[in-house]
Amino acid sequence: MTHTESRTQRDRMVFAADQLSKRFDECVALDQVTCSVPRGRVVGLIGRNGSGKTTLLRCLQGLAAPTAGRATTFGVDGMALVDADLARIGVVHQANRFVPWMSGRSHLDFVRSFYERWDRERERRLVDAFELDLRQRIGSMSPGSVQKLAILTATCHHPEAILLDEPAAALDPPSREALYATLFDLLREDEPAIIISSHQLDDIERSVDWILCLERGRVVRDEALDALQERYARWRVLPLPDGSPDGALKGNLREPWIKSAIVEDRGALLVVEDAETKREAFESRHGVTVDSQPLRLAEMFKVWMDERPSDDRPRRDAVAAPKGSQR
């Protein structure tokens, strides 16, 4: 029933980038990015400042032309999207430039006139959920209120493709909850593809099913959050009561799947990838017991940032553990 239905829809790609590169003069904003997002998926786009998140979102909606490669939405090149395509896309920009003398009400009335499928019921619901005062002029609204207005502007026309560039940056916690609840409503009603960029990794972890992580314009991770959560772990390693003389672990942790290590004389804290497949062998080789705990997205993110090639950033070895040795 709905099961098979959504399965066929899952194959329908909404956003795609293929070897997408974007250069601004000397600066490489995107470097051969390849990724795709089908309907019904919520992608958390994460990365440090200047990693290329906004540029990727802009290429997908045709606000920036690729230097090389392609960026498509509904299979159409971003730069070739026509009005009918754009009417199926909803966007929250990082900085919203709305007309300052308009009230929230007249802004929404104005925007609505462009869309055939504008949903006044959804509009009312969101105004309530966000406790937004539409009588206020945009110029005198708080950044949070403008952001709420932007979210309404981006979602009330039943878009099938939604791009949100740090939509929650100015929102207080209840409004952030309302935003994410809204996204799930949209998913149930229209099954759109959603890309949401954010630095609030805890929020992202609560709300998305997929992680796309960029660093220096390159894709660092493009994977289901579930799969990441099951692969990564934090291990508390303690020696068996009858085994492991002091320091047995030291200098013995060079395996590439050990991502970071704090080793003390009688134990260690490790961050590991492929946790479950490695555990038993590790325990018997080192004569230790492992207590494995899940790793949060924010901690994974740290691992990925440390994985950068050392030639362009030698910081990695400079960070020393307070006690004992680091890797």
Q: Which residues bind another protein (CB under 8 A)?
A: 2-3, 6, 10, 40-42, 180-181, 184-185, 187-188, 202, 205-206, 209, 225-226, 229-230, 236, 238, 240-241, 289-291, 293-297
User: Which one, 29 or 210, has the nearer CB to another protein?
Assistant: 210
Nearest 5°: the CA angle 252, 258, 264 is 55
In 3-state terms, what secondary structure has residue 143?
Answer: helix
Q: Which residues pair with 46 in a beta bridge?
A: 213
Give the whole-angstrom CA distance, residue 156 versus residue 237. 51
* Smallest separation (angstroms) from another protein to the CB of 174: 14
The one-letter code for the residue type at 29 is A
Give the whole-angstrom CA distance, residue 64 versus residue 78. 8
Nearest 5°: the CA angle 16, 21, 22 is 115
User: Which one, 131 or 189, has the nearer CB to another protein?
Assistant: 189
CA 312 to chain centre: 24
User: Which one, 25 or 242, has the nearer CB to another protein?
Assistant: 242
Q: Which position has the token pair 């945009």?
A: 138
* Smallest separation (angstroms) from another protein to the CB of 319: 23
User: Which one, 71 or 187, has the nearer CB to another protein?
Assistant: 187
* Smallest separation (angstroms) from another protein to the CB of 194: 10
* Smallest separation (angstroms) from another protein to the CB of 242: 8
CA distances from 281 to 250, 273, 275, 288, 289 (A): 17, 14, 11, 10, 11
* Smallest separation (angstroms) from another protein to the CB of 204: 10
User: Which one, 253 or 288, has the nearer CB to another protein?
Assistant: 288
